[in-house]
Amino acid sequence: VGDYTITYPSILRANGQSGTYSPLAVVEANNSLYYPTGRTFKTTGSKAQLINILVTNNITDTIQPDCDKLNLSALSRAVGLDLDGRIAWCLPVGADKNNEIWIYDYSRNGAWTLRWTISADFMWKYEDSSGATHWCIVSKNRILEFNKSALDDDGTPFRTRLSLPGVTFDDSALQMASIDMVRWLLLRPLGEISVNIYGIGEDNEETALLTTRKITPAISATGWDDTEWSTMEWDYPLKASTSRAKGQLPSNEEVGEILSQLQVEFSTDSRASYALNSVFITGKVIPGLYQGDD
């Protein structure tokens, strides 16, 4: 056209191209396609050194032993979904139907997270009228939703365990110290939380439970739910809430032991939630005293 030259690029097939058994498992994300093919997962994209050619790269080198367990005859049932930086696949692993969910995190350099042993015939996400996005699956003729704020799994409370690294008092881990108190600060605690303190004493070769404590915060919920925002106008005078939730809970436990190592553990067995802000240990090192001394 005039003095301009228009070039129409042509797309050529790349050597080693791969198809898929699973049309519903093909996911478009990050300007590429991701899909299972045989006992590997591939992604199509382009490379700077290759012009007009789509390249299929293997993204499952680190989990190949798990991929070898996929049932190829049932792989057509697989379903994939983009979850804003992650891709979830429902897959048949040694079974005739989807019985596990695998998650590939392409926002973190292609890390695979621990697989979920959840059966899912289908999954999807939808956006409700408030703009919130929901991730749902069909499992055993029921519709289930994954929610980060949930305290139970289909009615079964989550069991959690947070074990802090063991505290020692010199590089040899044999130096003894007199431990007076362990203090900690929990943020937004809800439900019953167990705190266990372990230690290795002067004559103990094994870690022993020194003290345990259960915390049940007495917190009354509050917030915007006190007023129906959907029925109010923004300039409507609102009554201030009279209840207030406690955002943090400082606690402490007396130890009173001579130890060479100390470890603190938080756990829950019922519907509970919390965030650990800090742990502070008070005591003093006993010079010249080491574990195993007579």
Q: Residue 195 is part of a domain; what is its CATH number? A: 2.60.120
Domain end point (choices 121, 148, 175): 148
Q: pLDDT band for position 11 (50/70/90)?
A: low
Residues 28 and 127 grouped into a single domain: yes
Q: pLDDT (tens digit, 9 = 90+) per residue, 145-179?
A: 887 777 777 778 888 899 988 899 999 888 999 99
Q: What's the domain count of the chain?
A: 2
Residues 195 and 285 grouped into a single domain: yes
pLDDT reported for residue 47: 60
Residue 7: inside a domain: no
Q: pLDDT (tens digit, 9 = 90+) per residue, 117-141?
A: 889 999 999 888 888 888 999 998 8
Domain end point (choices 103, 118, 148): 148
Strands 152-153 and 248-268: unpaired
| pTM > 0.75: yes or no | no
Residue 4: inside a domain: no
The residue segments making up the domain with residue 127 are: 23-148
Q: pLDDT (tens digit, 9 = 90+) per residue, 52-108?
A: 556 678 899 889 999 999 999 999 999 999 988 899 999 999 999 999 999 999 988
Residues 229 and 264 grouped into a single domain: yes
Residues 206 and 252 grouped into a single domain: yes
